[in-house]
Structure 1
């Protein structure tokens, strides 16, 4: 009988031999291994030594690194940390104001804004934005739309938006516009005193006028301070030193009077337009101390828009250009001759209309003769012949030394920039050629600046002293208290007071009886001298048909103090002379000067009119 597989399997499981083998195998697996302590001790020690070695090495590494950080690199790391925690800050310091003698503001720093547009952020159409901005920016709306379409962001619409306009733009609450504040130099009087004040460039550096020459006085001295910075980079005001944002209230005050400056400019422009002149200038000086009450040059420029102007206008030509003074130099020559005793006030001379000097024939401007005339009449008629005869009484070497004493061939020590040196022949050439003293006697053959001529006439007005012409009075505070006044050279005595008073009285006859009659003002004694000179050519000789007309006045004669000078370059027309072009300008300026300086009449008006 065949046995079933299940039964066979059951028996095999119950097989005693099989069960015994299975039990023995299980006991072998469950029985723990034997432990030998003597064999394991060296292994534990070696592991400890390894761990200790690692720890000691790590500790030594940390100690070395700590030494490097704290001792070797400590100072440098400390400096780096402080540089991250501290910031050097130089607060913005506006330039000092420039004011005139009556505290009218001529130059001031003001906040302005740069306006940027970001069309991608507009929540209105380009047309709507343009229509709202155009009136404020004084621009065409159509052009603004094209500007908005040029790019999506970062469009500069205006670079100097005034604060008032910026406030109006902000009030529109338009998205996509950005205003960035900055400071800009502003000149409220615009071109009125540009020749004196000058301008500053985009880097806030003076480029002309007192903005350039007085840079140190206009820049406030502010020290750089170190402030702590928080972890997020914000400044910590608690660590700011006391008063680091305090600025002084000093202002640079000038001697210029804006009222007189305006009157002089108006009169000058009228005559220049009438005679179609190339350029002109007016200078008014207080001869007692050399302060300039007015200094006008035309054409000029607007310092608020200097980039639109011709660069040649930035130099004030009354100090930066030379010219031959002509007959306005004759009174100075008379003073030289009187001071040397070679003539007397009542001396007579014969003007035949021409005089021979070496190989040259010298004539009067009108080619006429005046016969027997005294020195006052020589000035009245502007006689070249009479002046040559006066100077011929002086030895050329003596005459030349006097010209040098007056400063010819030198610069005038003034506070206006870019002044040039006058031109005078060398002493050897001057002495060797008789024609040189002769032409110099009536103001030709040498050159000087208009300001230098005014300085010399100032010596006639103040009793014979050469003073320093200047426009800077000093630094004053907001209460008008003077804190700093520039040191100037001491006035040099050139002529005696007796000599200068005689010359001024002779010049008075030019106004009462001679070529300066047009400058008369009822009740006031005025001395003057006209000048109509040929214009020298840069290439030598003279420019055909070109002339420079001028007139200089000193008032009041009984107590001379003020010098008023007008110069017009290349006036057109046959009637263009010092008496017709420049003298009316001087009269107009004096009519403004008299009430401003409260000059009393020299005599009653009724008596003066008789």
Structure 2
């Protein structure tokens, strides 16, 4: 059956509509017939402005940050960068050596090693290693084996190993050992000059003696240098200042003479042991300039093993402890009285053996009965009664002023550390009773250090000048040229040379005829004075039975120059006096001093 054309047309209409819709979609840009927004020119301009604004803001921010980094914080950041690229280095500098007046080494820095063991690297058995090392390290082989078995690595085997021992061990070419080098202070004389030189602690700081008082002279001046560092942290030597690792060859030279120091030490120790004394000291001074040729105390300590010593021994008691000098002060009182015209050299005095002052009775140490004696005999016999009468001829105020003038109650200002000043009662207390000048006349009622007594006797030996005792000569180089000398106080004239020599002449009779015969040396004129003093108690009064014996000598008497003082504290025995205990020490020291200083025999 044939279809009609009109129905066919009708059926195609929907297809036509669909075709139109697709055409419309292509024109509007929609894929599925959904309308798409058409972008206008204004919208495009807005987007460009936003992008441009973001770029401009970013650029401005970068510019501001760059300004902050380069201008505001530029110097700070530059410094931080340099700090990262540079390293501060303070090279280790050994302390300067200490030498005596003859250039003998007293203290020096030497290389030592810390030895570590790493058993895991041993190429031999632990037993073989122990057998090889034990005799060199002075250790037990069995204990070394146990030490090697305790850890596989990093075992501290020995500290402070000397360079020669380390070289010996290194020569074995053994695997598994590590040597860390450092420097240690070494004192070749052990305990001979410990009370003068002192010692340094583990931090290499002086703790006693000149190691402490002369720290600035012993420490070499080292400046911190800045070195460039590579990216891997390695130092760049091209930027190191030229010669920054070089140091001077200066040494600190002392006035001490090792030979005399040893002689004094032997003589002192012998008497201290013989009389079972608590302690003793010897001081030798050149009265011309105050230089100390020897300064010994007993007991002492080994500076190389200071950690084993009694801490009380670190204080040099010749400058740090006070005592009443007793009769060794009498020559100074005679000089004071002569200088003021209170007495004349040929004056004589009645000595009945006792004298009453205020409510006290003063006696002589030895009872000789009634006699008439001159001033030289007062010193020869150490008469307390005669000394009281001499001082009674002076006005107490004038006498007190002279005690201050000679230095009582003051410090010596030596270059040895921890010095204390002497003690003298106040003028008011001194003048309040006549007993004070009387007891002072024979060396009691005040106190001083042994070094100060040497200084005062030095004024008798050098023509009346009070010099400063010292041990530092200065800094010298390897050729002996002096680069630095300490500035000492100018000597102070306290007595006339005439007065000083008259007193020395009187002291000579003490050795030739009096209590000082124990110091006599044939062919040489020696002046001296013995002292046997009661020992003052810290709580007041005196310690029963305790005494300090001493002797001070001057050589040669006809041309005085050297002062030698020996003190022995609390000697035991019936015959323990200045003339029997201390005088032989001075004689032994002078027997060495005379040839060393080429002192000619008396004509």
Same fold (TM over 0.5): yes
Q: Decide whether aligned partners of structure 1 residues 47 and 174 sit closer, same or farther in structure 2, where only a CA change above 3 A counts.
A: farther
Deviation digits for residues 355-412 of structure 1, max 9, x if unmatched? 1111111111134436111111111111111111111111111111111101111111
Match of residue 477 from structure 1: 477
Q: How does 1:326-365 map to 2 (within 5 A)?
A: 326-365=326-365
Match of residue 419 from structure 1: 419
1:555 aligns with 2:569: no
Structure 2: which 5+ residue stretches go unaligned?
1-22, 30-36
Match of residue 366 from structure 1: 366
Match of residue 110 from structure 1: 110
Match of residue 464 from structure 2: 464
- Deviation for aligned residue 1:40: 7.4
Structure 1 CA distance for aligned equivalents of residues 263 and 348 of structure 2: 41
- Deviation for aligned residue 1:350: 1.7
Deviation digits for residues 301-325 of structure 1, max 9, x if unmatched? 1111111111111111000000111
Structure 2 CA distance for aligned equivalents of residues 370 and 521 of structure 1: 32
Match of residue 157 from structure 1: 157
1:598 aligns with 2:595: no
* Helix, strand or coil at the partner of 2:503: helix
Q: How does 1:133-532 map to 2 (within 5 A)?
A: 133-369=133-369, 371-532=371-532
- Deviation for aligned residue 1:487: 1.0
- Deviation for aligned residue 1:526: 0.5
* Helix, strand or coil at the partner of 1:112: strand
- Deviation for aligned residue 1:297: 0.9
Structure 2 CA distance for aligned equivalents of residues 395 and 40 of structure 1: 127
Structure 2 CA distance for aligned equivalents of residues 57 and 326 of structure 1: 98
Structure 2 CA distance for aligned equivalents of residues 329 and 167 of structure 1: 58
Deviation digits for residues 110-162 of structure 1, max 9, x if unmatched? 11111223334444333333322222222223333343344444332222111
Structure 2 CA distance for aligned equivalents of residues 188 and 359 of structure 1: 58
Structure 2 CA distance for aligned equivalents of residues 357 and 142 of structure 1: 77
Match of residue 127 from structure 1: 127
More displaced 10-residue stretch of structure 1: 406-415 or 344-353? 344-353
Deviation digits for residues 182-230 of structure 1, max 9, x if unmatched? 1111111111111111111111111111111111111122221111111
Match of residue 17 from structure 1: none
Structure 1: which 5+ residue stretches go unaligned?
1-30, 604-610
1:70 aligns with 2:70: yes
Structure 1 CA distance for aligned equivalents of residues 176 and 567 of structure 2: 55
More displaced 10-residue stretch of structure 1: 321-330 or 64-73? 64-73
Aligned length, in residue pairs: 577
- Deviation for aligned residue 1:55: 4.8
More displaced 10-residue stretch of structure 1: 219-228 or 281-290? 219-228
Structure 2 CA distance for aligned equivalents of residues 545 and 153 of structure 1: 63
Deviation digits for residues 40-93 of structure 1, max 9, x if unmatched? 786987876676566555544433433332223322221111001111111112
Structure 2 CA distance for aligned equivalents of residues 164 and 601 of structure 1: 48
Deviation digits for residues 254-289 of structure 1, max 9, x if unmatched? 111111111110111111111111111000000011
* Helix, strand or coil at the partner of 2:270: helix
Q: Decide whether aligned partners of structure 1 residues 139 and 368 sit closer, same or farther in structure 2, where only a CA change above 3 A counts.
A: farther
More displaced 10-residue stretch of structure 1: 594-603 or 142-151? 142-151
CA RMSD of aligned residues (A): 2.4
* Helix, strand or coil at the partner of 1:455: helix
- Deviation for aligned residue 1:506: 0.6
More displaced 10-residue stretch of structure 1: 370-379 or 395-404? 370-379
* Helix, strand or coil at the partner of 1:102: coil
Structure 2 CA distance for aligned equivalents of residues 369 and 229 of structure 1: 91
- Deviation for aligned residue 1:532: 0.8
Q: Decide whether aligned partners of structure 1 residues 79 and 130 sit closer, same or farther in structure 2, where only a CA change above 3 A counts.
A: same
Structure 1 CA distance for aligned equivalents of residues 480 and 358 of structure 2: 61
Deviation digits for residues 563-594 of structure 1, max 9, x if unmatched? 01101111111111111111111111101111
Q: What TM-score do the two structures reach when normalised by structure 2?
A: 0.91
Structure 2 CA distance for aligned equivalents of residues 447 and 160 of structure 1: 44
